[in-house]
């Protein structure tokens, strides 16, 4: 059995660990003054903190789309994974974990074994 580990960018893992363990990391969305940015891609952490004092409204986060989750799960399947452990922040903090579960329940991944687990 080959295990695929999946998480989102709220885990804040350094790139060397992501690469070393072949983790699949989906960027969460950061919403700043009505504009969505993919965490670490659309806006860097450095840029975020530099701009933070000038934000007109407090920034918020949003979950990636269910389609984006499905694409990332398919990537793990394509790498030969037959079990996925998907770890995300608890549902009391974000909707990301809810979005992570939905694509795993559709037909193309039904033969796949998986667990979605809230981090603590």
Specify the pLDDT at position 23.
94
Q: Quote the mean pLDDT of the chain.
A: 87
Phi, psi of 79 (to 5 degrees): -90, 5
| Residue 31 bridge partners (DSSP) | 36, 60
Please spell the DSSP secondary structure of 28-92, one letter per residue: PEEEETTEEEEBTTTB-HHHHHHHGGG-SS--EEEPPPHHHHHHHHHHHHHTT-SEEEEEE--TT
pLDDT tens for each residue of 67-106: 999 999 888 888 999 889 999 988 888 888 888 888 887 7
């Amino acid at each position: 059995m080959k295990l695929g580990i999946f998480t989102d960018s709220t885990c804040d893992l350094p790139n060397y660990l992501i690469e070393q363990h072949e983790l699949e990391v989906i960027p969460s969305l950061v919403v700043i003054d009505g504009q969505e940015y993919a965490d670490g891609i659309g806006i860097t952490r450095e840029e975020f903190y530099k701009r933070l004092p000038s934000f007109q409204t407090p920034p918020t986060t949003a979950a990636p789309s269910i389609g984006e989750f499905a694409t990332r799960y398919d990537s793990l399947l394509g790498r030969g994974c037959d079990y996925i452990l998907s770890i995300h922040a608890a549902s009391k903090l974000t909707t990301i974990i809810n979005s992570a579960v939905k694509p795993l329940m559709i037909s193309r991944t039904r033969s796949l074994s998986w667990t979605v687990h809230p981090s603590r």
